[in-house]
Amino acid sequence: MTSPFTPIENPSLFCRFCSKIVPAQLDRGIAENGKTIDKKSTFEYSCSKCFKTSCYCGKDLLEINGEDETDETRTYSPREHYFIGEEIFHKTFDENGLVVGKENGSNGKILVHFEKAGLKKLIQDI
Ligand SMILES: [Zn+2]
């Protein structure tokens, strides 16, 4: 049984068209073949600057009022899975960063924005 899923509505996302981090807006969730919208659904976000949309899977998005949600900031490890909108701590950079995007490909990569270190691509799900 799948439970309904409500992802974050106004994340900061890296827009590949604007090449910068912009406020984004959740447009809609797309369910597969009449199924209810859940964590496996695709969600469309539009850039507040250029209005182009990007799609993300629910499993890559932070949930509003998620049960697993804690106030603890996780320390980055390439073995773990991170969510867009999540704040993580990176030991090497010694600062917190915000997950602002995902790169699709064989290896999952996350885009993380650090105040001092800038935008970094980090590996996840090893
Ligand atoms: Zn844009």
Q: Is residue 3 part of a domain?
A: no
Total domains present in the chain = 2
pLDDT digits (tens, 9 = 90+) for 62-103: 998 766 556 689 999 999 999 999 999 999 999 999 999 998
* Same-domain status, 83 and 53: no
Q: Is residue 54 part of a domain?
A: yes
For residue 15, the CA-to-ligand 1 centroid distance in Å is 5
* Same-domain status, 50 and 26: yes
Which structural domain, as residue segments, surrounds residue 114?
A: 74-123
Q: Is residue 45 part of a domain?
A: yes
pLDDT digits (tens, 9 = 90+) for 14-55: 999 999 999 999 999 998 777 889 999 999 999 999 999 999
Confidence of residue 1 (pLDDT cuts 50, 70, 90): low
For residue 31, the CA-to-ligand 1 centroid distance in Å is 24
Whether 26 contacts 7, CB under 8 Å: yes
pLDDT score recorded for residue 64: 87
* Same-domain status, 56 and 92: no
Long-range contacts of 29-35 (CB under 8 A, 24+ apart): 29/5, 29/58, 30/55, 35/2
Higher-confidence position of 1 and 79? 79
